[in-house]
Amino acid sequence: MITQNITSISESIIDTVGNTPLVKLNNVLDDSHFNLFGKLEAANPAGSIKDRTSLYIIEQALASGTIKKGDTVIESSSGNMAVGLAQACLYYGLKLIVVVDPKLNSHTEKILRTYGVRIEHVTVPKKNGGYLAARLERVQQLLDQIPNSYWSNQYGNQNNPLTHHETMSELMDSLHGKLDYLFVATSTCGTLMGCADYIHENHLNTKIIAVDAVGSVLFGGPPLKRLIPGHGAGVPSQFLNTSRIYDHVYVDDVDCARGCWNLLEKEAILCGGSSGGMISAVRKYSQKMEQDSNCALFLCDRGERYLDTIYNRDWLLKELPESKNAFTPIGGW
């Protein structure tokens, strides 16, 4: 029998953002010599770690008088930031326009339209910077055209990394201050650097490992086509300070899909692409970690948004045919 103890009542839906569960992942890595923990960011009300970022950016902009009820927020997003902003903007009476590219999945687009978000599509990548550069160009055009508009700018707004000082504090409290390795997916690098700055400022011994996508330019690699959104970037990060990053690991799209299916089969956790990438990254890095060390990672979003891609066998066989030799989904091919 399952019982639930309700210790408090939240004043609103936005008060439920954060304080996500930390779960020990006992089975996803066979015969692991270290302890692995996953922070379930899908437990946020709009379903991802970007709920934290979007809410903090919006609340700080409102508090400073930069925006007011009825104004228009504009953002470029591959999905999760857009959904987080959709909830925060609707709650605070703000209009929202998101600029997306073809990697936006249909499930997320339906969510955004249900929230009443205006969606702007870019379809042609820039020669330098790919789809991200094209999205940012469209954001600037919209800012010029629309009065009382505000760019939340997840790529350069310092409130993005500042958000994750609290995220990191939650993690350290849960582990009673003992965290040896933290794996964080790249993208804007807001989460990565927020955690890294917290570690630096609090003189912690935690080693932070960035998990980057093959085809991302963040650590000097060449830009390549990537199919799974949510990690990596086609342009340099305004936040990234590599001196505070202990190491980095590359994962490709197949690694992400394999990690997702592995996490589902072994832990019954349905998560998105970057989470699968981090599981694969930990596996690649495992021999460098000490006996009985504590390792944590963020399970950044819900897997339901990837049912047409990562969790769709036909899509995998068409778009990532190497998957067939790399892993077997539950139920087989």
Q: How far is CA 128 from the centre of its chain?
A: 24
User: Residue 159's closest CA among 151, 149, 148, 169?
Assistant: 151
* pTM for this entry: 0.94
User: Can you give the pLDDT at residue 7?
Assistant: 65
Rounded to whole angstroms, the Cα distance separating 300 from 186 reads: 11
Place of tokens 């599509």: 121
Domain 13-48+163-325: CATH architecture, name and number where available: 3-Layer(aba) Sandwich (3.40)
The strand pair at 22-24 and 149-151 is best described as unpaired
Rounded to whole angstroms, the Cα distance separating 151 from 72 reads: 9
Distances (CA, A) of 154 to 54, 73, 140, 239: 8, 12, 14, 10
The answer to whether domain 50-151 has CATH 3.40.50.10490 is: no
User: Can you give the pLDDT at residue 1?
Assistant: 45
pLDDT below 70 — which residues of the chain?
A: 1-7
Q: Do domains 13-48+163-325 and 50-151 have the same CATH topology?
A: yes
CB 135 within 8 A of CB 162: no
CB 241 within 8 A of CB 195: no
User: Can you give the pLDDT at residue 3?
Assistant: 46
User: Can you give the pLDDT at residue 244?
Assistant: 98
User: Can you give the pLDDT at residue 63?
Assistant: 98
The three-state DSSP-derived secondary structure of the chain is CCCCCCCCCCCCHHHHCCCCCEEECCCCCCCCCCEEEEEEHHHCCCCECHHHHHHHHHHHHHHCCCCCCCCEEEEECCCHHHHHHHHHHHHHCCEEEEEECCCCCHHHHHHHHHCCCEEEECCCCECCCHHHHHHHHHHHHHHHHCCCEEECCCCCCCHHHHHHHHHHHHHHHHCCCCCCEEEEECCCCHHHHHHHHHHHHCCCCCEEEEEEECCCCCCCCCCCCCCCCCCCCCCCCCCCCHHHCCEEEEECHHHHHHHHHHHHHHHCCCECHHHHHHHHHHHHHHHHCCCCCEEEEEECEEHHHHCCCCCCHHHHHHHCCCHHHHCCCCCCC
Rounded to whole angstroms, the Cα distance separating 181 from 291 reads: 12
CB 73 within 8 A of CB 90: no
Which residues in 178-188 are b (16+ Cβ under 10 Å) and which e? ebbbbbbbbbb
User: Can you give the pLDDT at residue 16?
Assistant: 97
Q: Which residues, 6 or more positions from 309, have their beta carbon under 8 angstroms from its beta carbon?
A: 105, 227, 228, 273, 315, 316, 319
Delimit the domains of the chain by residue range.
Answer: 13-48+163-325, 50-151
User: Can you give the pLDDT at residue 105?
Assistant: 84
